[in-house]
Amino acid sequence: MEQMSSTEYVYLVAKPIGREAELIKAESVIVTGAKPSELGVTTSGTLADIKQGAFISSVIKVLISGDSESIDNQIGRKKLYRKIGELGLQSHNFCVRLIKRPKKMKLDFDQFKVARNIGARIGGSVNLNQPATEFWLLLTPNNFWFGRLETSADKRWVQFNKRPHTSSSSLPARIARAMINLTIQSNGRLLDPCCGTGTILLEGANMGLSVFGADLNPKMVFASQKNLDHFGLMATVATADARNISHQTFDGMFDAIITDLPYGFALVADTERDRHILANVRHLAPKATFVSTRNLSSDLEDFGYKIKRIVRIPKYDHFVRLVFITNTK
């Protein structure tokens, strides 16, 4: 058992498996600086703001850590309790939670008893219903970390998935949120020039960005506006063609463009139209992220975009979304 330096953090992330595996890994690397383990645990020396994480759900500040073997037995657990006592933790309204990865991991001890024993080494008062502070004992088959929960993600994307207007090619809200996290890490002006029903706008507005959306189809502009109104969120939305939208359309330049280019069952794939859009919007922001079902690499290179990362998100076997994260300079 060892005591960690005060700058060590452990993040709980969705397990990087299945269709969204690449996106989960990419979000973890960009936000926390490190890849998650196959169990969905990321350790990092830095504390990142994960309130708006799409696949990152919580971060704890590690106070004590070690091999899970070392607390497999009574003597090891007693040592852990003693060490926790030595930390001199004090908190009003705290609770202790035992978190397992994998969730169904079998334990040879009574987890509630362990949580109670840990709680007995912390000064202050326990509040299991509305704790002001949570202390976690996070266990995996190989490691344990004891620490204080710093932040949990707001998970607002869950509500946005129930927006009143969607279309067959609408993005899932969680993917839209991850795309924003992969592109822009601070406040600024965000443009979605092919906004459809406004999934990216909803997420961007919720994340505190100044958000601007355009679509060629006025019905989509209406749907975006309705969706924003439904959640009480603000964005400027207009009917406009992304092939000739300019900084004057919304009175200024942008910090990032994030858009889901036209594709899907109801839309005809049109390479020339996509190329026009790419050529036109490149001058509007220093960063741009595009989603498409086709490989845009050579088109992006033709127009001077620097591709930083490509993330694959399969929906079905024959329908794969590709996310191109680029710098425009």
Ligand X SMILES: C[S@@+](CC[C@H](N)C(=O)[O-])C[C@H]1O[C@@H](n2cnc3c(N)ncnc32)[C@H](O)[C@@H]1O
Q: Which is nearer to ligand X, 99 or 195 (CB)?
A: 195
The rounded distance, in Å, linking the Cα atoms of 246 and 254 is 11
Measured from the CB of residue 188, what is the shortest distance to ligand X in angstroms?
A: 19
Helix (H, G, I), strand (E, B) or coil at 156: coil
Q: Which is nearer to ligand X, 143 or 183 (CB)?
A: 183
Helix (H, G, I), strand (E, B) or coil at 263: coil
Angle between helices 173-183 and 199-206 (to 10 degrees): 60
Q: Pick from 3, 111, 127, 217 the residue near ligand X by CB under 6 A.
A: 217
Q: What is the DSSP letter of 14?
A: -
Q: Pick from 124, 241, 282, 308 the residue near ligand X by CB under 6 A.
A: 241
Measured from the CB of residue 305, what is the shortest distance to ligand X in angstroms?
A: 18
Q: Which is nearer to ligand X, 15 or 287 (CB)?
A: 287
Phi, psi for residue 159 in degrees, rounded to 5: -65, -40
Measured from the CB of residue 156, what is the shortest distance to ligand X in angstroms?
A: 16
Q: Which is nearer to ligand X, 9 or 290 (CB)?
A: 290
Q: Pick from 29, 89, 98, 216 the residue near ligand X by CB under 6 A.
A: 216
Q: Which residues contact 16 (CB under 8 A, 6 or more apart)?
A: 24, 25, 28, 35, 36, 38, 40
Map the footprint of ligand X across residues 303-322, applying CB under 6 A: none
Measured from the CB of residue 291, what is the shortest distance to ligand X in angstroms?
A: 7
Q: Pick from 64, 95, 184, 220 the residue near ligand X by CB under 6 A.
A: 220
Q: How many residues bind ligand X (CB under 6 A)?
A: 23
Q: Which stretch binds ligand X (CB under 6 A): 66-74, 92-100, 143-151, 240-248?
A: 240-248
Q: Pick from 93, 167, 236, 293 the residue near ligand X by CB under 6 A.
A: 167
The rounded distance, in Å, linking the Cα atoms of 113 and 231 is 43
Q: Pick from 32, 42, 140, 170 the residue near ligand X by CB under 6 A.
A: 170
Q: Give yes or no for residue 27 binding ligand X (CB under 6 A).
A: no
Residue of this chain nearest to ligand X (CB atom): 196
The rounded distance, in Å, linking the Cα atoms of 294 and 300 is 12
Longest dimension (CA), the chain: 71
Measured from the CB of residue 220, what is the shortest distance to ligand X in angstroms?
A: 4
Within 10 A of 125 (CB to CB), how many other CB atoms are there?
11
Q: Give yes or no for residue 59 binding ligand X (CB under 6 A).
A: no
Q: Pick from 36, 40, 147, 262 the residue near ligand X by CB under 6 A.
A: 262
Cis bond leading into 102, ω under 30°? yes
Q: Which stretch binds ligand X (CB under 6 A): 16-24, 32-40, 181-189, 191-199?
A: 191-199
**Residue 213: burial class (beta carbons within 10 Å; 0-12, 13-18, 19+):** buried
Q: Which is nearer to ligand X, 146 or 254 (CB)?
A: 254
The rounded distance, in Å, linking the Cα atoms of 195 and 205 is 13
- Binding track, positions 194-213, relative to ligand X; x by CB under 6 A: x-xx-xx-------------
Any alpha helices (H) in the chain, and if so which ranges?
21-32, 74-86, 111-119, 157-160, 173-183, 199-206, 218-230, 271-281, 297-302
Q: Pick from 24, 31, 54, 171 the residue near ligand X by CB under 6 A.
A: 171
The rounded distance, in Å, linking the Cα atoms of 171 and 278 is 20
Interface residues with ligand X (CB under 6 A) are: 167, 169-171, 193-194, 196-197, 199-200, 214-217, 220, 241-243, 260, 262-264, 273
